[in-house]
A and B are shown apart, each in its own frame.
Chain A
Amino acid sequence: MHRNLKLLLIIVLFTALPAGAQEAPYFVTYDHHLEEPGNLEVETSTTMGVPRSGQRFYFAPYAEFEYGVTGRWTSELYLEGQSTSGDSAVFTGWRLENRFRPLAREHWINPVLYLECEGINEATRIQKEVVGNAPDFGERNSESSQTHAHELETKLILSSTVHDWNLAENFIVEKNLSQNEGLEFGYALGVSRPLATLASAASCRFCRENFNLGVELYGGLGSTRGFGLHDTAHYLAPVVAWQLSDNASLRFSPAIGLTHESNPALLRFGYSYEVRGFGDKLAKFFGGKP
């Protein structure tokens, strides 16, 4: 069975057909575009935190498996970890998210409903969303990784396409089911555009059409115990995505902390690879009907 799984992985990686995954370059903000049905996107990303004095440099990688269940439902699994300089490396948990698109057609504003279950610990640093008040990153991993949290997170994603610009707004509500912290709030805003809007005839790697630039703004808005900007972290982050090939892309974002409670800077890197027709391939492998 183990051999079969290896074989499956090899088949999937080397028989993947090209996919035109020209996606928004955001790391935190979501737009209204879902994964195509049957496609699997495998992504590995990293959040690196540049600390203030008294804090330590950290490196938080995560893997992401995004699958298009139907044309209006995308499901995603995250596995995340963290390593802090002068401390240790720990596994910080998993997240399972689902995005649903209630409207079938494109509109001026396209809503997407987002629901995520998280089984993480307090050592998490990936900051896929920033909610509530600023977290304490001064605690050692041996202590923070012992505090487990089951969280439920919802987002209202609103996204528009205006003259090839994508405008996206996310409103976040998170509930820690393990502790009585009330509801925590956050936001993420993003705007992006491809560098060129006309496709050239030739296959090229460095064409302007392969680059997508944008900027994100995200942060916490406190909680039901104290709503507002007091003691919250906020970041302004230029983002760039480069379509390396038909099915692979690189993303980079240097985020600047806007408040004293934020890290001075966050550096984010991401590499994604899209496996087209994954559902069919998997069904075929197990003898089912594609």
Chain B
Amino acid sequence: MTRKMSAGWMVLLVPFAAALWAQNADYQPDPGWQAPPQAVAKQNPLANRPAAAAGGKKLFARNCAECHGEEGSGLVKKSSADLQLPIVQTQSDGALFWKITNGNPDRGMPSFSRLPELQRWQLVLHLRTLQPARPPQ
């Protein structure tokens, strides 16, 4: 019985440990990089068009995956944010949009204001689809 339980834990823990190893669990957000209140309150104009997230996925692969990884889990060598973390996902759409628009050039995050506004909102839609690859609690 004990051996069966250990094997079960192993099945759960190995993928969990692997996911943790691949993710940038050491990511430390920049406390000075905060969206102003009016930006935080902005609503996503594409919120009622979830199909637009597919375009966001393409944009993410082009513009963001190099530093944040295909799954958005961040890369340790780039010190980039794990976008699946609650600290990111609990931010409002407006705050994420502001961060994509402005970037944080002193911490290596470029501004993506060169992308049209709707495409930046498409990126926010896609960010909402990023789910942590973790076993259920």
Q: A residues within 8 Å of B by Cβ?
A: 17-20, 22-24, 31, 33-34, 36-37, 68, 70-72, 101, 104-106, 161, 163-164, 166, 194, 197-203, 209, 246, 276-277, 290
Contacts and interface: CB of A to CB of B under 8 A. Distances in A.
Contacts of A202: 58
Contacts of B108: 37, 71
Nearest to B57: A201
Contacts of B63: 19-20
B82 to A, nearest CB: 19
Contacts of A276: 66
Of A71, A161, A200, A277, the most chain B CB neighbours within 10 A belong to A71
Contacts of A22: 114-115
A22 B49 CA distance: 24
B102 to A, nearest CB: 5
Contacts of B54: 201
B103 A71 contact: yes
Contact of A20 (B57, B59, B104): B59
Nearest to B60: A20
A276 B108 CA distance: 14
A106 B101 contact: yes
B105 interface: yes
Contacts, number: 83
| Interface secondary structure of B, over-half rule | helix
B109 A198 contact: no
| Interface secondary structure of A, over-half rule | loop
Contact of B61 (A18, A106, A200): A18
B113 interface: yes
Contacts of B119: 197-199, 209
B111 A33 contact: yes
Contact of A37 (B55, B58, B110, B114): B110
Shortest 8 CB-CB distances between A and B: which pairs?
Answer: A71-B105, A201-B54, A20-B62, A199-B55, A197-B116, A20-B63, A164-B116, A197-B118
B50 to A, nearest CB: 12
B58 A203 contact: yes
A18 B55 CA distance: 16
Contacts of A105: 102
Given A197-B118, A201-B55, A36 B110 contact: yes
A18 B51 CA distance: 23
B62 A18 contact: yes
B57 to A, nearest CB: 8
A267 B20 CA distance: 54
Given A198-B55, A200-B55, A106 B105 contact: no
17 contacts: A22-B115, A24-B114, A33-B113, A33-B114, A36-B110, A37-B108, A71-B104, A104-B102, A161-B114, A164-B116, A164-B117, A197-B116, A197-B117, A197-B119, A200-B58, A276-B66, A277-B66
